[in-house]
Amino acid sequence: MNDCIFCKIVSGDLPSYKLYEDDDVLAFLDIAPVHPGHILVIPKKHFKNFEEVPEDTLCKLIKVVKKLGLALKNGMGYEAYNIGENNDPLAGQIVPHLHFHIIPRKENDGLQLWPQKEYAEGEAQEVIEKIKKFL
């Protein structure tokens, strides 16, 4: 895609701090990290979101995420990390090219996860029925 910033990184038209590269996957440091070592893992081929990516490519991506997560812990001394994928703009996806975030975590780092709620009486069953229609 001509206007995709990640495609430009893949093609070499834009610089990046590359950590990993193979025929299908590229991983590099996020330029606006939550903490040093915040990594983005992308397919080299352009896929807009999670639903578009073929399963074989998805498997390759997640294997790299796992490998880099461990390398982040061992190399940077972090005890934990979050894996995130914002799927579509409403979910916070800024770059319309599938990418996984590996966000290193440290104790008392101030990063907040989403708030949790409880289901109302009967609501969980309704949700299950609606979703199962499309499995």
| Domain definitions of the chain by residue range | 5-132
Provide mean pLDDT across the span 33-37: 95
Pick the CATH number of 5-132 from 2.60.120.260, 3.50.50.60, 3.30.428.10, 3.10.20.30: 3.30.428.10
> Which percentage of the chain shows pLDDT scores above 90?
94
Query: Catalytic residue numbers?
Result: 99
DSSP reduced 3-state for 83? strand
Residue 72 burial (CB count, 10 A) = 23
8 A C-beta contact, residue 112 and residue 88: no
pLDDT tier for residue 1 given thresholds of 50, 70 and 90: low
Question: Model-level pTM greater than 0.85?
Answer: yes
